[in-house]
Amino acid sequence: MRYTSKHKVIAGIAAAVLLSGGAGLASTRLTAATAVVTSTAAPPVKVVGNHIVNAQTGAVIQLHGVNESSWVNDCANSPNYWNGTVAEAAQPATWTGINAIRIHINEDCWLGLNNLPRDYSAASYRNAIKTAVSDANAAGLEVDLTLGWSAPGTTQSLGQNTMIDASHGPALWDSVASVFGRNLAVIFELYNEPRPDHGQDDAAAAECVKNGGPAGTCAPFATAGMQAITDDVRKAGAENIILEGGPHSEEDPHLWNTYEVTDPLHDVAAAWHVYPRGSCHTLSCWTGDVKPVADQVPVIASEVGDQVSAGACSDSYPLQAADWMDGTDHGAISPVAFVWDTHFGGCDNMLANFNGTPTSYGSVWKSAFAVSLGSSPPPPTNAPATAASAPAGHNGRCAGYRMRGRHRHRHRARWVSRTADRPGPACGRWNGPPTGLS
Instruction: Indicate the range of 26-35, 91-100, 151-160, 167-176 predicted with least confidence.
Output: 26-35
Do β-strands 142-149 and 186-189 pair in parallel, antiparallel, or remain unpaired?
parallel
In a domain, 431, yes or no: no
CA distances from 390 to 56, 125, 382, 383 (A): 11, 38, 10, 8
> Tell me, what's the pLDDT at 343?
81
Residue-wise burial string across 336-368, b where 16 or more C-beta atoms lie within 10 A, e elsewhere: bbbbbbbebebbbbbbeebebebbebbebbbbb
Average pLDDT over residues 327-354: 89
**What is the domain count for the chain?**
1
- Residue 51 reports pLDDT greater than 80: yes
Sort 11 into a burial class: Cβ within 10 Å, 0-12 / 13-18 / 19+: middle
Residue 207 is given by DSSP the state: H
pLDDT digits (tens, 9 = 90+) for 81-116: 445 567 789 999 999 999 999 999 999 999 999 999
CA 71 – CA 153 distance, rounded (Å): 21
The residue count for the chain: 438
> Tell me, what's the pLDDT at 10?
27
In a domain, 30, yes or no: no
Average pLDDT over residues 329-344: 92
Q: What is the CATH number of the domain that holds 341?
A: 3.20.20.80
Most confidently predicted of 58-67, 84-93, 201-210, 306-315: 58-67
The helix (run of H) or strand (run of E) holding residue 86 is: helix 85-88
pLDDT digits (tens, 9 = 90+) for 252-264: 876 777 788 999 9
In a domain, 27, yes or no: no
Residue 31 is given by DSSP the state: -
Average pLDDT over residues 36-54: 82
Helix (H, G, I), strand (E, B) or coil at 210: helix
The boundaries of the domain holding residue 308 are 6-21+46-414
**C-alpha closest to that of 272 among 291, 264, 258, 259:** 291
**C-alpha closest to that of 271 among 136, 163, 397, 365:** 397
| Position with higher pLDDT, 343 vs 330 | 330
* Contacts of 278 by beta carbon, 8 Å cutoff, 6+ apart: 249, 251, 252, 402, 418, 424
In a domain, 435, yes or no: no
- Residue 320 reports pLDDT greater than 80: yes
> Tell me, what's the pLDDT at 130?
95
Q: How much of the chain, in percent, has pLDDT values that exceed 90?
A: 54
pLDDT digits (tens, 9 = 90+) for 178-221: 999 999 999 999 999 988 877 777 888 889 999 999 999 999 99
In a domain, 34, yes or no: no
CA distances from 101 to 186, 261, 267 (A): 10, 24, 19
In a domain, 132, yes or no: yes
Output phi, psi for 363, to 5 deg.
Answer: -65, -35
**C-alpha closest to that of 374 among 314, 326, 426, 342:** 326
Instruction: Please tell me the pTM assigned to this model.
Output: 0.78
pLDDT digits (tens, 9 = 90+) for 112-158: 999 999 888 899 999 999 999 999 999 999 999 999 999 999 999 99
In a domain, 33, yes or no: no
> Tell me, what's the pLDDT at 88?
83
Contact between 300 and 241 under an 8 Å Cβ cutoff? The reply is no
In a domain, 67, yes or no: yes
- Residue 161 reports pLDDT greater than 70: yes
